[in-house]
Structure 1
Protein backbone atom coordinates (compact mmCIF):
# COMPACT_ATOMS: atom_id res chain seq x y z
CA UNK A 1 0.00 0.00 0.00
CA UNK A 2 1.40 3.39 -0.99
CA UNK A 3 1.31 6.32 1.34
CA UNK A 4 -0.38 9.51 0.17
CA UNK A 5 2.02 12.34 -0.64
CA UNK A 6 2.74 14.68 2.21
CA UNK A 7 1.79 18.35 1.92
CA UNK A 8 4.64 20.80 1.43
CA UNK A 9 6.13 22.19 4.65
CA UNK A 10 4.96 25.55 5.99
CA UNK A 11 7.29 28.29 4.86
CA UNK A 12 7.74 31.84 6.12
CA UNK A 13 9.13 35.12 4.87
CA UNK A 14 10.90 35.41 1.54
CA UNK A 15 10.96 31.65 1.05
CA UNK A 16 7.14 31.55 1.27
CA UNK A 17 6.87 34.35 -1.28
CA UNK A 18 9.31 32.56 -3.60
CA UNK A 19 7.31 29.34 -3.48
CA UNK A 20 4.02 31.22 -3.93
CA UNK A 21 5.47 32.81 -7.05
CA UNK A 22 6.51 29.38 -8.35
CA UNK A 23 3.01 27.99 -7.70
CA UNK A 24 1.48 30.93 -9.54
CA UNK A 25 3.88 30.42 -12.45
CA UNK A 26 2.91 26.73 -12.55
CA UNK A 27 -0.75 27.81 -12.65
CA UNK A 28 -0.10 30.14 -15.59
CA UNK A 29 1.76 27.37 -17.42
CA UNK A 30 -1.14 24.97 -16.81
CA UNK A 31 -3.57 27.63 -18.04
CA UNK A 32 -1.53 28.08 -21.22
CA UNK A 33 -2.34 24.47 -22.11
CA UNK A 34 -6.04 25.43 -22.28
CA UNK A 35 -7.01 26.54 -25.82
CA UNK A 36 -9.59 29.10 -24.61
CA UNK A 37 -7.08 30.87 -22.38
CA UNK A 38 -4.44 30.82 -25.11
CA UNK A 39 -6.87 32.51 -27.50
CA UNK A 40 -7.76 35.13 -24.88
CA UNK A 41 -4.10 35.77 -24.08
CA UNK A 42 -3.24 36.26 -27.76
CA UNK A 43 -6.18 38.64 -28.22
CA UNK A 44 -5.14 40.45 -25.04
CA UNK A 45 -1.61 40.86 -26.40
CA UNK A 46 -3.19 42.96 -29.15
CA UNK A 47 -5.76 44.75 -26.98
CA UNK A 48 -3.47 45.81 -24.13
CA UNK A 49 -1.23 48.00 -26.31
CA UNK A 50 -4.33 49.22 -28.18
CA UNK A 51 -5.77 50.43 -24.85
CA UNK A 52 -3.10 53.16 -24.82
CA UNK A 53 -4.20 54.28 -28.26
CA UNK A 54 -7.98 54.06 -27.78
CA UNK A 55 -8.20 55.29 -24.19
CA UNK A 56 -8.94 58.96 -23.71
CA UNK A 57 -7.20 59.28 -20.33
CA UNK A 58 -5.40 57.15 -17.76
CA UNK A 59 -8.63 55.91 -16.17
CA UNK A 60 -10.06 54.87 -19.54
CA UNK A 61 -6.83 53.05 -20.44
CA UNK A 62 -6.89 51.30 -17.06
CA UNK A 63 -10.51 50.20 -17.51
CA UNK A 64 -9.78 48.79 -20.96
CA UNK A 65 -6.70 46.95 -19.70
CA UNK A 66 -8.43 45.64 -16.58
CA UNK A 67 -11.34 44.34 -18.63
CA UNK A 68 -8.88 42.21 -20.61
CA UNK A 69 -7.12 40.98 -17.47
CA UNK A 70 -10.50 40.19 -15.87
CA UNK A 71 -11.26 37.80 -18.74
CA UNK A 72 -7.96 36.00 -18.09
CA UNK A 73 -8.62 35.77 -14.34
CA UNK A 74 -12.14 34.40 -14.76
CA UNK A 75 -10.95 31.92 -17.41
CA UNK A 76 -8.26 30.66 -15.02
CA UNK A 77 -10.84 30.28 -12.23
CA UNK A 78 -13.22 28.48 -14.59
CA UNK A 79 -10.44 26.09 -15.58
CA UNK A 80 -9.69 25.48 -11.89
CA UNK A 81 -13.34 24.65 -11.21
CA UNK A 82 -13.42 22.27 -14.17
CA UNK A 83 -10.21 20.58 -13.00
CA UNK A 84 -11.56 20.02 -9.49
CA UNK A 85 -14.85 18.65 -10.81
CA UNK A 86 -12.99 16.32 -13.17
CA UNK A 87 -10.72 15.21 -10.33
CA UNK A 88 -13.71 14.11 -8.25
CA UNK A 89 -14.83 11.64 -10.91
CA UNK A 90 -15.62 11.13 -14.58
CA UNK A 91 -19.29 10.20 -14.09
CA UNK A 92 -21.98 12.72 -14.94
CA UNK A 93 -23.60 14.43 -11.98
CA UNK A 94 -26.06 17.35 -11.99
CA UNK A 95 -23.98 19.32 -9.46
CA UNK A 96 -20.84 18.82 -11.54
CA UNK A 97 -22.69 20.08 -14.60
CA UNK A 98 -24.02 23.02 -12.62
CA UNK A 99 -20.54 24.00 -11.38
CA UNK A 100 -19.06 23.78 -14.88
CA UNK A 101 -21.97 25.69 -16.43
CA UNK A 102 -21.70 28.45 -13.85
CA UNK A 103 -17.97 28.79 -14.49
CA UNK A 104 -18.68 29.00 -18.21
CA UNK A 105 -21.37 31.62 -17.59
CA UNK A 106 -18.89 33.69 -15.56
CA UNK A 107 -16.47 33.65 -18.50
CA UNK A 108 -19.28 34.62 -20.89
CA UNK A 109 -20.38 37.56 -18.74
CA UNK A 110 -16.81 38.79 -18.42
CA UNK A 111 -16.28 38.50 -22.17
CA UNK A 112 -19.54 40.40 -22.83
CA UNK A 113 -18.62 43.15 -20.36
CA UNK A 114 -15.12 43.51 -21.79
CA UNK A 115 -16.38 43.35 -25.36
CA UNK A 116 -19.03 45.95 -24.62
CA UNK A 117 -16.51 48.30 -23.07
CA UNK A 118 -14.15 47.86 -26.01
CA UNK A 119 -16.96 48.31 -28.56
CA UNK A 120 -18.15 51.50 -26.86
CA UNK A 121 -14.58 52.80 -26.58
CA UNK A 122 -13.78 52.06 -30.23
CA UNK A 123 -17.03 53.69 -31.33
CA UNK A 124 -16.25 56.82 -29.26
CA UNK A 125 -12.67 56.84 -30.59
CA UNK A 126 -13.87 56.47 -34.20
CA UNK A 127 -16.30 59.39 -33.78
CA UNK A 128 -13.43 61.52 -32.54
Structure 2
Protein backbone atom coordinates (compact mmCIF):
# COMPACT_ATOMS: atom_id res chain seq x y z
CA UNK A 1 0.00 0.00 0.00
CA UNK A 2 1.35 3.41 -0.94
CA UNK A 3 1.81 6.14 1.62
CA UNK A 4 -1.14 8.04 0.12
CA UNK A 5 -3.40 4.97 0.34
CA UNK A 6 -2.28 4.30 3.90
CA UNK A 7 -3.05 7.91 4.83
CA UNK A 8 -6.54 7.63 3.30
CA UNK A 9 -7.13 4.27 5.02
CA UNK A 10 -6.23 5.84 8.37
CA UNK A 11 -8.61 8.74 7.74
CA UNK A 12 -11.39 6.32 6.79
CA UNK A 13 -10.84 4.28 9.95
CA UNK A 14 -10.94 7.46 12.06
CA UNK A 15 -14.24 8.55 10.46
CA UNK A 16 -15.69 5.05 10.84
CA UNK A 17 -14.59 4.97 14.47
CA UNK A 18 -16.23 8.35 15.16
CA UNK A 19 -19.46 7.09 13.57
CA UNK A 20 -19.18 3.94 15.72
CA UNK A 21 -19.07 5.97 18.93
CA UNK A 22 -22.29 7.77 18.04
CA UNK A 23 -23.97 4.56 16.96
CA UNK A 24 -23.07 2.87 20.25
CA UNK A 25 -24.40 5.85 22.19
CA UNK A 26 -27.71 5.80 20.31
CA UNK A 27 -28.23 2.06 20.68
CA UNK A 28 -27.64 2.30 24.43
CA UNK A 29 -30.45 4.89 24.66
CA UNK A 30 -33.09 2.62 23.09
CA UNK A 31 -36.04 1.50 25.24
CA UNK A 32 -34.36 -1.93 25.35
CA UNK A 33 -30.70 -0.84 25.38
CA UNK A 34 -28.31 -2.58 23.02
CA UNK A 35 -24.72 -2.47 24.26
CA UNK A 36 -21.90 -2.51 21.75
CA UNK A 37 -18.23 -2.98 22.63
CA UNK A 38 -16.70 0.32 23.71
CA UNK A 39 -13.30 1.60 24.58
CA UNK A 40 -10.23 3.12 23.07
CA UNK A 41 -8.77 -0.14 21.77
CA UNK A 42 -11.83 -1.86 20.30
CA UNK A 43 -11.18 -3.71 17.07
CA UNK A 44 -13.78 -2.29 14.69
CA UNK A 45 -13.68 -5.30 12.38
CA UNK A 46 -13.18 -8.17 14.81
CA UNK A 47 -15.25 -7.01 17.79
CA UNK A 48 -17.47 -4.07 16.92
CA UNK A 49 -18.68 -5.08 13.47
CA UNK A 50 -20.23 -8.44 14.56
CA UNK A 51 -22.00 -6.65 17.41
CA UNK A 52 -23.44 -4.08 14.98
CA UNK A 53 -24.63 -6.89 12.71
CA UNK A 54 -26.40 -8.43 15.72
CA UNK A 55 -27.92 -5.05 16.65
CA UNK A 56 -29.36 -4.92 13.13
CA UNK A 57 -31.42 -8.00 14.04
CA UNK A 58 -32.39 -6.74 17.51
CA UNK A 59 -33.68 -3.29 16.54
CA UNK A 60 -36.79 -4.83 15.00
CA UNK A 61 -37.94 -5.93 18.48
CA UNK A 62 -37.69 -2.45 20.02
CA UNK A 63 -40.91 -0.97 21.46
CA UNK A 64 -40.82 2.22 19.41
CA UNK A 65 -42.49 3.73 16.34
CA UNK A 66 -41.93 1.79 13.13
CA UNK A 67 -40.50 4.79 11.31
CA UNK A 68 -37.83 5.20 14.01
CA UNK A 69 -36.99 1.49 13.80
CA UNK A 70 -36.53 1.98 10.07
CA UNK A 71 -34.23 4.92 10.67
CA UNK A 72 -32.15 2.92 13.15
CA UNK A 73 -31.91 0.08 10.67
CA UNK A 74 -30.77 2.54 8.00
CA UNK A 75 -28.06 3.97 10.26
CA UNK A 76 -26.83 0.49 11.10
CA UNK A 77 -26.76 -0.43 7.41
CA UNK A 78 -24.86 2.77 6.58
CA UNK A 79 -22.26 1.83 9.20
CA UNK A 80 -21.99 -1.79 8.03
CA UNK A 81 -21.72 -0.75 4.38
CA UNK A 82 -19.08 1.85 5.24
CA UNK A 83 -17.07 -0.75 7.15
CA UNK A 84 -17.25 -3.15 4.19
CA UNK A 85 -16.07 -0.39 1.88
CA UNK A 86 -13.21 0.63 4.16
CA UNK A 87 -12.03 -2.97 4.35
CA UNK A 88 -12.31 -3.28 0.57
CA UNK A 89 -10.38 -0.03 0.11
CA UNK A 90 -7.57 -1.25 2.35
CA UNK A 91 -7.25 -4.37 0.20
CA UNK A 92 -7.72 -2.76 -3.22
CA UNK A 93 -6.75 0.91 -2.93
CA UNK A 94 -9.56 1.78 -5.34
CA UNK A 95 -10.62 5.39 -4.84
CA UNK A 96 -14.31 4.79 -5.50
CA UNK A 97 -14.44 2.54 -2.43
CA UNK A 98 -13.01 5.28 -0.23
CA UNK A 99 -15.45 7.78 -1.73
CA UNK A 100 -18.39 5.42 -1.22
CA UNK A 101 -17.32 4.78 2.38
CA UNK A 102 -17.29 8.54 3.07
CA UNK A 103 -20.69 8.88 1.43
CA UNK A 104 -22.17 6.12 3.65
CA UNK A 105 -20.57 7.62 6.75
CA UNK A 106 -21.91 11.07 5.93
CA UNK A 107 -25.47 9.90 5.31
CA UNK A 108 -25.33 7.66 8.36
CA UNK A 109 -24.03 10.39 10.65
CA UNK A 110 -26.73 12.81 9.46
CA UNK A 111 -29.46 10.26 10.14
CA UNK A 112 -27.83 9.37 13.46
CA UNK A 113 -27.88 13.01 14.57
CA UNK A 114 -31.63 13.11 13.97
CA UNK A 115 -32.11 9.90 15.95
CA UNK A 116 -30.00 11.13 18.86
CA UNK A 117 -32.11 14.28 18.96
CA UNK A 118 -35.31 12.20 18.92
CA UNK A 119 -33.97 9.94 21.68
CA UNK A 120 -33.07 12.99 23.76
CA UNK A 121 -36.64 14.23 23.40
CA UNK A 122 -37.90 10.86 24.68
CA UNK A 123 -36.05 11.14 28.01
What TM-score do the two structures reach when normalised by structure 2? 0.43
Of structures 1 and 2, the larger Rg is shown by 1
- Name the structure, 1 or 2, with higher relative contact order (CA <8 Å, separation 6+): 2
What TM-score do the two structures reach when normalised by structure 1? 0.42
